[in-house]
Chains A and B, each alone.
Chain A
């Protein structure tokens, strides 16, 4: 009698347990759906021949992709964005890697404050950064030039390199560098022969983050860009601010593809969980 009662209570508890688990899974699933639906809608619209998206889709067409590839302004913007991305990535990786190394190997008062300063562009409202740069670039005479854009993009990409390279550096066994020094190598030689090859995953991941950040940056770019040198996101912004054009869908699909590619590279090099 007692036994049976207890078994009943246990079964009830297990049933309740299953109910909660089910509820959480449904809730969590809905959240992921909420995250993914907008992306799916864009992809769906990009391959539809109609100017307005419909659900369910009736036809498949590459019309909007063709329109993008035949449009001279879009292609010029894509070319410009890719150029910019290349320059920004190289410079950010060099500046960020050296700075991350310097900080990790030094002990001084205010080191934590310095690190926060280097990571601060992630938190500062970008509109504020935009007008601060607008003012100083105007004073320097580099407003609406490529140099201004490069500088602005480096500032927002910099923290990512500091983080990814920082992760790699903290995973590095300090004995390896010490061994190299003990064997008579100087700090420069040790850095290039020992440290650099070992932190390559962090550098690659940082480079991917910089590239993706630069390619998608719009908040700061809007303040310093010129109409003749327009990046793709700024052009998209100006476009959808005024009219609705489905070729933006096709461009977006390209961006999403780039993002997924970047994701794969980061996962292969340093692991997503460590840097996000």
Chain B
């Protein structure tokens, strides 16, 4: 009697101690992120409503002036549109290229081939973005490798101007971000029961039809999670555009960098940052919604 009444008490005391310990473990990380992630963002949000004088000093007044400048000037609207366009084009190209790459990874004939493909996919992710971008400068410069090879093959007589435009930015983006699209698609593909594809083929569907009706729908979750990462990276990077596209490309992250470090107009930079966050956030949330809907449909 006494024993059985004591046990639940002891058990709940044990659970209390375990929970207390878990909270103690969680707290330092939470305080750190709160102080250096949440608070800075809140402050940035507040600053985006501050006014500045002609010398870029922050005034103690609050208004919507910075946002008005961003959303009414042609210059910034064009920039927002270009940023989105570049990110969307990059995402689409990455997804299209990712499918054959993922197929090879899943169907690799043996372990060593698969490992080699994996190394090719993952090692760029562990190399600094500066270095990955630098490779494209070496390749695309006036006296770079691409021009040299084309000249030697006598396909061109003058070196082409391959750097310092948005195409160079997109090419470099695709190469830098492709692994983020390939890996989740490969995971989805690997999870498809091979009997499904076999059944489709046995029922007379060709390869293309099987891809459209079986493989593609079942890899939508992987495709969407890849697209989310690629899109948010492509919309938010400034290092790659700065190095291969030049300082004058109308891209929001680039403009934020210059506005803050060169013009020193922090409130305008903050308002542009909030705009960028909102754009990326809305589109990513939309893609996330599609992903969840689709998963709901797949699993009934």
- Which A residues have a C-beta under 8 Å from some C-beta of B? 13, 16-17, 20, 24-25, 27-29, 31-32, 34-39, 41-42, 45, 52-55, 95-96, 98-99, 101-103, 105-106, 114, 117-118, 120-136, 151, 154-155, 158, 181, 186-188, 191, 212, 215-219, 222-223, 233, 236-237, 240-241, 244, 248-249, 251-252, 255-256, 258-260, 262-263, 272-273, 276
Chain B hits for A102, CB < 8 A? 22-27, 29
CB distance from B111 to the nearest CB of A (A): 12
**Chain B contact patch, size range:** 35 or more
Does residue B294 face the partner (Cβ distance < 8 Å to A)? no
Does residue B149 face the partner (Cβ distance < 8 Å to A)? yes
Chain A hits for B273, CB < 8 A? 125, 127-128, 131-132
Does residue B117 face the partner (Cβ distance < 8 Å to A)? yes
Contact partner of B28 (CB less than 8 A), chosen from A28, A95, A114, A223, is A95
Decide: B33 and A233 in contact? CB cutoff 8 A: no
Which of A106, A129, A276 neighbours the largest number of chain B CB atoms within 10 Å of its CB?
A276
Which of A31, A135, A263 neighbours the largest number of chain B CB atoms within 10 Å of its CB?
A31
Decide: B145 and A263 in contact? CB cutoff 8 A: no
CB contact list, B215-240 vs A, under 8 A: 228-229, 232, 235-239
Does residue B77 face the partner (Cβ distance < 8 Å to A)? no
CB distance from A203 to the nearest CB of B (A): 14
Does residue B245 face the partner (Cβ distance < 8 Å to A)? no
**13 other contacts beyond A218-B130, A236-B130, with CB at 8 A cut-off?**
A28-B104, A31-B101, A95-B29, A102-B23, A103-B26, A123-B229, A128-B44, A136-B36, A187-B21, A240-B137, A240-B243, A251-B131, A272-B118
Decide: B238 and A27 in contact? CB cutoff 8 A: no
Q: A99-B30, A125-B276, A240-B243 are in contact. Are A259 and B36 (CB under 8 A)?
A: no
Q: A53-B145, A218-B129, A233-B130 are in contact. Are A136 and B178 (CB under 8 A)?
A: no
Closest 9 A-B residue pairs measured CB to CB?
A125-B236, A102-B26, A99-B29, A216-B128, A38-B135, A132-B40, A28-B104, A28-B100, A259-B126
Chain A hits for B161, CB < 8 A? none
Decide: A248 and B236 in contact? CB cutoff 8 A: no
Q: A135-B47, A154-B32, A223-B261 are in contact. Are A34 and B187 (CB under 8 A)?
A: no
Decide: B207 and A127 in contact? CB cutoff 8 A: no
Contact partner of A125 (CB less than 8 A), chosen from B17, B24, B232, is B232
Q: A31-B178, A98-B26, A215-B128 are in contact. Are A128 and B100 (CB under 8 A)?
A: no
Contact partner of B277 (CB less than 8 A), chosen from A55, A124, A151, A244, is A124
Chain B hits for A216, CB < 8 A? 126-131
Contact partner of B120 (CB less than 8 A), chosen from A25, A32, A244, A249, is A32
* A260→B115 CA distance, assembly (Å): 12
* A219→B240 CA distance, assembly (Å): 10
Chain B hits for A276, CB < 8 A? 122, 125, 179, 183
Q: A133-B36, A255-B127 are in contact. Are A240 and B120 (CB under 8 A)?
A: no
CB distance from B91 to the nearest CB of A (A): 14
Does residue B154 face the partner (Cβ distance < 8 Å to A)? no
Contact partner of A106 (CB less than 8 A), chosen from B19, B131, B138, B276, is B19
* A240→B243 CA distance, assembly (Å): 8
* A119→B41 CA distance, assembly (Å): 15
Does residue B170 face the partner (Cβ distance < 8 Å to A)? no
Q: A123-B232, A188-B21, A218-B239 are in contact. Are A32 and B104 (CB under 8 A)?
A: yes
* A135→B280 CA distance, assembly (Å): 22
Decide: B104 and A29 in contact? CB cutoff 8 A: yes
* A102→B24 CA distance, assembly (Å): 8
Decide: A105 and B22 in contact? CB cutoff 8 A: yes
Decide: A25 and B104 in contact? CB cutoff 8 A: yes
